[in-house]
Amino acid sequence: MFEPVKLLLEESGCSEVYGEIMNFDVVGLKGPAEVIVEMKKTLNFKVIEQAYHACHHAHFVYIAVPKVKTSHWFIYNEFLAPKNIGLIYVRKNESNEAIWNKYHEGPYQKYIATVAHEAKFNHRAPKKKLKGDFYQYSLRGHIKTYSHENIGGSKGGETITDYSFMINAVKTFLESNGPSTLEEIIENVPVVSDHYKNPKTSLRATLREKWNEHWLMMSRDFEKKQILYELKSDKED
């Protein structure tokens, strides 16, 4: 559902739309306002609870679910409207592709997202009167350079995290430079120092963990008395 919801937010005025920010499925930036959309296959209490939590972080909050024949009138009026939460339906595009392309810009959309009930402004969203650095408390403060690559609603293992982004940067460096010392990795991969308070100690411990054994090998340079790190070849795998 991410792509049609993303397109809907962009068409509604969001200049940027991201997936998986602070564990929220979709986050849109609309001028100074922030929009959160929580997506689920059914409109149940789990997604309603997630939307309630989102109200503490965004100015507009929506729930997106597949369009069904039955009405969600009772659930919307009893549980969503009192919290100013909006409702989005995602349905299959039943329009002929040729006709669709004639009246719409961009590629044909297999699924379409539409707003069934508009979200109202949420006064419980964080305000700048918070003590300390407000930016770090806001959704915008959690947007990273890789955030645009994440797809909202993805499973945990499919989402890029600070850790996976850092490890991929280390892999890229080793692929280009071959066997390298810990100091060389830290010096040439700045994201390591951004991720760890104690880069040398923490990275050494991380690279020795079992879950990295499938791609990393270590050898000792007896002349320099240092450990060298390098990628395993396909043959070794």
pLDDT per position as a tens digit, 89-119: 999 988 888 887 777 777 888 889 999 999 9
Closest C-alpha among 169, 218, 220 to residue 195: 169
Asked, for residue 237, whether it belongs to a domain, the answer is no
Burial profile 122-138: b = 16 or more Cβ within 10 angstroms, e = fewer: beebeeeeeeeeeeebb
Residues of the chain with pLDDT under 50: 128-132, 134, 136, 237
Residues 35 and 135 reside in one and the same domain: yes
Asked, for residue 156, whether it belongs to a domain, the answer is no
Secondary element (H or E) of residue 73: helix 73-75
Residues 225 and 117 reside in one and the same domain: no
Residue % of the chain over a pLDDT of 90: 52
pLDDT of residue 25: 93
Residues 18 and 123 reside in one and the same domain: yes
Strand partners, 113: 90
Q: Say what the pTM is.
A: 0.76
Collapsed DSSP state (helix, strand, coil) of residue 185: helix
pLDDT of residue 154: 67
Residues 125 and 40 reside in one and the same domain: yes
Q: Using an 8 Å Cβ cutoff, are 165 and 172 in contact?
A: no
User: Going by DSSP bridges, is the β-strand pair 60-66/86-92 parallel, antiparallel, or unpaired?
Assistant: parallel
**CA-to-CA distance for 167 and 216, rounded, in angstroms?**
11
Residues 136 and 167 reside in one and the same domain: no
Number of domains in the chain: 2
